[in-house]
Amino acid sequence: MAYPHIENTSDYAQFCDAFKSGTEDLEHGSFSAGHWACPECGCLDYSNCKPCPECGTDPDTANEPSFSWTPCDICGRHLGGDREHVIGWLEGAEGHDYADSYQWEGNTCTDCLYFNEYRQLDDMTMMRVEAA
């Protein structure tokens, strides 16, 4: 099996299962790129400001992906690559007026970020999977 690289239908099915499992505790099974608070100073007004009113951190720069060997918080793969900081609401947040205690954050691989947006992987990967 080629996994963690997605080379065939078996790998793709395993990835889809891992993604589903990794997002099952999230409201609507999805997440967004970003931070709940400024990663530099913790300012809670961070997402609505450019730059952060407390420390001057630019949200666009702070949200840049960075290389890591750390496993993806969604699919769990140990494949080295870009990780992007993501946020989401834990299941039940809507029923509790989106209380802060329902906030979730983590780091995800580019495959999960793409899959979260389009519910499939990029075209080149999908062509490789279909051809295998």
Q: How far apart are CA 77 and CA 112, in angstroms?
A: 10
pTM metric for this prediction? 0.87
Q: How far apart are CA 56 and CA 74, in angstroms?
A: 30
pLDDT, one tens digit per residue, over 78-95 is 999 999 999 999 999 999
Residue 47's pLDDT band (cuts 50, 70, 90): low
Residue 51 has a pLDDT of 86
Instruction: Calculate mean pLDDT across residues 7-33.
Output: 95
Inform me whether the pLDDT recorded for 67 exceeds 90. Answer: yes
Higher pLDDT, 132 or 109: 109
Domain residue extents for the chain = 9-131
Collapsing DSSP states into helix, strand and coil, what is residue 111?
Answer: helix
Instruction: Calculate mean pLDDT across residues 15-39.
Output: 94
Instruction: Calculate mean pLDDT across residues 54-65.
Output: 83
Inform me whether the pLDDT recorded for 43 exceeds 70. Answer: yes
How far, in Å, are 60, 97, 98, 127 from residue 101 at the CA level?
A: 25, 11, 8, 41
